[in-house]
Structure 1
Amino acid sequence: MRAVGPLGACRGRTGLAGAILARVGVVALLAIAFVAGASAEDITRAHAIALHGEPKYGPDFSHFEYVNPDAPKGGTMHLGVAGSFDSFNPYITRGNPAAGVGAETLTVGSEDEPFTRYGLIAEAIEWPADRSWVIFTLRPEARWHDGAPITVDDVIFSFETLKTKGQPFFRFYYASIARVEQVGERRVRFVFKEAGNRELPLIVGEMPILPKHYWQDRDFERSTLEPPLSSGPYRIASFEAGRSVVMERVADYWGAHLAVNRGQNNFDRIQYEYFRDETVLREALKAGLIDFRQETQAKAWALDYDVPPVRDGRLKKEVVPHGRPTGMQAFVFNTRRPLFGDPRVRLALSYAFDFEWTNRVLFFGTYKRTDSFFSNSELAARGTPEGGERTLLEPFRAQVPAEVFTHAFQPPATDGSGWPRANLERALALLKESGWQVKDFKLVNAATGAPFRFEILIVNAGFERIMLPFRRNLARLGIEADIRLVDESQYINRLRAFDFDMAMLVWGQSESPGNEQRSFWGSQAAVTEGSRNYAGIKDPVVDRLIDLIITAPDRESLVERTRALDRVLLWGHYVIPGWHSAADRILFWDRFGRPAMTAPRGVSIDTWWFDPAKDKALQRLATAGR
């Protein structure tokens, strides 16, 4: 870590200890004395903190490598969103928040490192060798949009509010924070319940910071269409409920000069237009009503953009490879339902999904089958466990499926013909083992006679064409599966309440997994509504592996422990793995500039800018009728 110097020496140079004594009194001084109880050599004070190793960018860096530091400011970016919105508060369980809203954080991440945080609202970060606490020193120039300074009180208020009134995610994410306290005029210390959790200081740095003077007289737990006070580079200029939001760049934004912001936030206005569904949104793009789209549907990418603007180059269509983990998109079993309590039943249904046919016929061969919860990364389990990973798993041998040690996980495959006879025979054998039998062409419980019937919950009509062949194969097994398409609000509420049998869901992953895994797979999350443990996993081995990931002392052990968790999750058959692509498919009207280098995590329009010359040329072509 690039340290400014030992804590004591740093205080000596800045005169901070004397200033604190004069301004905040003896109580704060005692708190600082407690911090200083650790050896000065054990404490680092720096501009950035990495999960493992050193930050890529030193204390005097001027900008990230993947931006154009001289990008001009100006122009408008029009973006499209499918659905609607009824709230500007994205941090609570009520309402459907608008796109583009959110608060600034103490630190900001880079796009070309696994997990490093650089100071944003915080100008400096301090921590001991065991990472049992962290101190953030706030920038004196940090301001809310009303001109009031961002204070330590705001930070403490944000922590307490998010943990007690925010989404359940925050309670899991901040569960290991014992207390928060002011230790100086601009210094705030977070003390942790455990030492050795290397990620905790970085997690705290990701905390959204809320203005206490704005929220203290308002009900934080109610959705609102009153644009909240913020501090970032953009503010809400206007909106039409459920239809559009216009964000304008803040001319006197306090953080515009920072290295972490240079070359970003280049548009004067960002306008979000809402459309009924993805089909209408695509037509809006082709008509020039929106400027940019990242296409997620293979069929649309292959068939929907053979139009004059694409053919003549006005509307650019590009595939941009990326190196970010793609996580897991899957058919997710809600194992809280007795129907899906037996892993043999879950595996049987996996045999009914014919990915090879689906990819050939519906996806135009553009996807890879996902075989890991950490796909497209070094964190994915491969082969059978060896070395340190095998040693790690050995104590759990009696508690996990035998295949964890003996077989490399692969989802069931077919010949792609559309008639997976062998797979369905294997599925029927597994169902028979688990107490089901076919009677009058229906699969029924051998003991009770109850039929095998369930519902697949979806929110995107585009998934219906994928579900229908799956449902057809299930029907061949005697299983009745209903596809239920619901609106976005109902979908969100049902997921929060775990009110579904099966759903098509996605878990995104970072290059450095950690505390968020508790919300994804932890036993406590399984019984906490609003968590992302959609599958209802309650497994002490999984809990223990998550703890080991969180306390991994270096990158090598983090990779080994994550692979072990991946392997145990896969052999639990909690999902029917879906598919992924290691590239971004983008379309944009040719009126923008972008950096020569794309960050490893993929396309980010935060680094793009409006190009007046290109815009004029585009208008000339449109006027000429091309």
Structure 2
Amino acid sequence: MQPTPVPSPTPSPTPKPKILTVCLLDEPDSLYLYGSDSLAAQHIWQAIYDGPLDSRTYAHQPVIFTDLPSLANGSAVVETITAQAGDHVLAAGGEVVELTPGVTVEDAGGQCVTFDGTPIPMVRMIVTFTLRPDLHWADGAPITADDSVFSFELAADPATPIDKHAILRTADYRAANARTVVWSGVPGFLDHFYYLNFYHPLPRHAWGSVSAASLLNAEGSTRRPLGWGAFVIREWVRGDHLTAARNPFYFRAAEGLPHLDEIVFRFIPDPTKLAQELLAGRCDVVTHDAAAPVLAALPNQLPVEMFTAPDSRWELLAFGISPAPGYERPDFFEDVRVRQGIAHCIDRQVLAERVLHGYLPPDHPLYAGGALTTWEYDPVAGQALLANAGWYDDDGDSVREAHNIPGIADGTPFQVVYHTTDDPLRVQAAHLVRENLAECGIQSSVETLPPEMLFASGPEGALFGRRFDLAQFSWRITPDPLCDLFLSSQIPDAGRWGKPNVAGFLDDEYDSACSAALAAFPDSAEYAAAHIEAQRIFSERLPALPLFQRQKVTLACAAVVGLVPDSTQPSELWNIEQLDLRP
């Protein structure tokens, strides 16, 4: 039985339809959930889907669930089971394997045990997701737990080109009833992000007879996917625009949502033309991924509003502490006093207003705050640290030389190469840092590389091959702090060139704190305490110098109401049902 569409309020007299025009630089190739990961697709998905989760202020909020699963409320549990020969388990090395003699696993007591045929007690996680009772597809059919199971089946299909990491670590994914999905992990796998192990529903009733391979190109899945959000796709004119109209079956329609009648996504690949359309009033919103080139094409006096939010990327200057064998140069940065001195020498406030003192921003719920060592701009203090480490200018040429430093020949000048990408903001920052370093007696030359070269795999790549002196780039900030970026076990090397500790940072105390954080569940006090300790050590010993957090800018005309860009929400249209236009 289909629900009766909720009628929209009908003011008198009947107003002109509210139509919001969002202008994008890029047009997605596909809107199929497993066929695209473009930001353009994510913007449009905000209109046709709502949730399953929102991600704001470095946390997750349920949208189509009755509650977010947690260990505290009992919807996530860890239980002990008996692993038998032939079971798929997480081995001690982190890979999912069949349990056979000789395989080493971690038992329920946390001890590493090598399987000899005797059953082993191991822990596993079970997470229960409960859907809201008022969810319907845009064609009126109810959304059920089986639609999520269908999505899991498609994700697991070999024809679906997505990473199978989460699939391999799933022992079972099933619908317990019409509104309840239960995820079970393989024995040994305890997932910090267990509440994300829900598969975005896809409509089995509409697509169930189509193969996973065919869905990658089918009209219904790629151009007019069925959703449950505030809007439903009405037309897509390739190379021009996509129009989405109000969905009468939207589960929040009784609240008077959405406020708008239509959303038009225009695709304008030329930034200059896009800027002209914005000024002419034919674009209401320009998304953050288009803002920089559009701003460059706009006059100085902007007749538009700018909405800003910190980006989820943090810019850093990595020190080449332990370069790879074969990259011959002095060990400039092994002494922590050198890294600390450089931190004092760089005026980061000139680079950006939002300076970082650790790998988390101040608004992150796990930010260490007062536990951090901060390195304010103080070139006198910086030069003193460099001199104490054995680097001072003895010949008056304004470049420091080595004096009585083990492993470095006396008289070796402090001359380094500063690598970064050809991104204009990075190039500008790199030259400002070069000037600061020169004032402290360190000579640096800036070399820019295309991103694909800077981030190329080792042994040839500059970063992952550990063949650099200084390197400026960015890492992404996540709700779960990525302290493992600097673990000694994560140093890239032969056979593991993708590991992220490109600085080659080795510190037992840091390893201990970060490992404790990674072993604890997010709901626990141990988790927060260990992450704060890892941040404290990082800020003192500086495997990398945090520079700043980028800003993302959304442009909009003055009539637009309700835009609330967020650091951890990929699209600023995340609350599209709340957007409105002033009369």
TM-score range, shorter chain: 0.5 to 0.7
What amino acid sits opposite 1:75 in the alignment? Answer: I
What amino acid sits opposite 1:192 in the alignment? Answer: G
Alignment match of 1:575 (pick from 544, 548, 571): 544
Alignment match of 2:62 (pick from 85, 94, 117): 117
1:541 is aligned to 512
Q: When the two structures are superposed, what TM-score results if normalisation uses the length of structure 2? A: 0.60
2:118 is aligned to none
- Please provide the CA RMSD for this pair: 5.8
Shift of 1:306: 7.2
Alignment match of 1:589 (pick from 544, 553, 557): 557
Q: How far, CA to CA, are the matches of 2:454 and 2:264 in structure 1?
A: 26
What amino acid sits opposite 2:425 in the alignment? Answer: G
Alignment match of 1:409 (pick from 362, 366, 373): 373
Deviation per CA, 1:212-263: give whole Å up to 9, x if none: 637734278899994363414245542546xx6535135344434377xx64
| 2:430 matches 1:467 | yes
Alignment match of 1:133 (pick from 126, 144, 153): 126
Gap change, CA 1:85 and 1:188, over 3 Å in 2:
closer
| 2:262 matches 1:268 | yes
What amino acid sits opposite 1:507 in the alignment? Answer: R
Contact preservation (8 Å) 1:288, 1:589: yes
Gap change, CA 1:467 and 1:267, over 3 Å in 2:
farther
Identity %: 13
Q: How far, CA to CA, are the matches of 2:301 and 2:252 in structure 1?
A: 40
Q: How far, CA to CA, are the matches of 1:298 and 1:358 in structure 2?
A: 24
| 2:581 matches 1:611 | yes
Bigger mean CA deviation after superposition, 477-486 or 433-442? 433-442
1:204 is aligned to 197
Alignment match of 1:218 (pick from 213, 222, 229): 213
1:564 is aligned to 533
2:360 is aligned to 373
What amino acid sits opposite 1:184 in the alignment? Answer: N
Deviation per CA, 1:105-159: give whole Å up to 9, x if none: 7743485895442435999999457364233355676555577664545423433
Q: How far, CA to CA, are the matches of 2:455 and 2:474 in structure 1?
A: 14
Q: When the two structures are superposed, what TM-score results if normalisation uses the length of structure 1? A: 0.57
Gap change, CA 1:608 and 1:86, over 3 Å in 2:
same
What amino acid sits opposite 1:156 in the alignment? Answer: V
Q: How far, CA to CA, are the matches of 1:453 and 1:204 in structure 2?
A: 43
What amino acid sits opposite 2:211 in the alignment? Answer: Q
Gap change, CA 1:298 and 1:305, over 3 Å in 2:
same
Number of aligned pairs? 480
For residue 567 of structure 1, give the secondary structure of its aligned residue in structure 2.
Answer: helix
For residue 344 of structure 1, give the secondary structure of its aligned residue in structure 2.
Answer: coil
Deviation per CA, 1:450-494: give whole Å up to 9, x if none: xx5463224x323321122334566763544411245xxx58985
Contact preservation (8 Å) 1:325, 1:377: no
Q: How far, CA to CA, are the matches of 1:438 and 1:354 in structure 2?
A: 24
Alignment match of 2:20 (pick from 65, 76, 82): 76
Alignment match of 1:100 (pick from 43, 49, 53): 43
Contact preservation (8 Å) 2:518, 2:527: no
Shift of 1:370: 3.5
Alignment match of 2:227 (pick from 231, 234, 249): 231
- Which structure dedicates a bigger proportion of its chain to helix? 1
For residue 184 of structure 2, give the secondary structure of its aligned residue in structure 1.
Answer: strand
Q: How far, CA to CA, are the matches of 1:222 and 1:494 in structure 2?
A: 31
Alignment match of 2:244 (pick from 243, 248, 253): 248
For residue 119 of structure 1, give the secondary structure of its aligned residue in structure 2.
Answer: coil
For residue 545 of structure 2, give the secondary structure of its aligned residue in structure 1.
Answer: strand
Q: How far, CA to CA, are the matches of 1:426 and 1:420 in structure 2?
A: 10
Q: How far, CA to CA, are the matches of 1:121 and 1:525 in structure 2?
A: 42
Shift of 1:548: 3.7
Contact preservation (8 Å) 1:95, 1:223: no
Gap change, CA 1:269 and 1:87, over 3 Å in 2:
same
| 2:419 matches 1:455 | yes
Shift of 1:590: 1.4
Bigger mean CA deviation after superposition, 114-123 or 298-307? 298-307
For residue 536 of structure 2, give the secondary structure of its aligned residue in structure 1.
Answer: helix
Q: How far, CA to CA, are the matches of 2:390 and 2:280 in structure 1?
A: 50
Structure 1 gaps of 5+ residues are 1-70, 385-407, 444-451, 614-626
Q: How far, CA to CA, are the matches of 1:497 and 1:274 in structure 2?
A: 40
What amino acid sits opposite 2:314 in the alignment? Answer: M
Shift of 1:100: 1.4
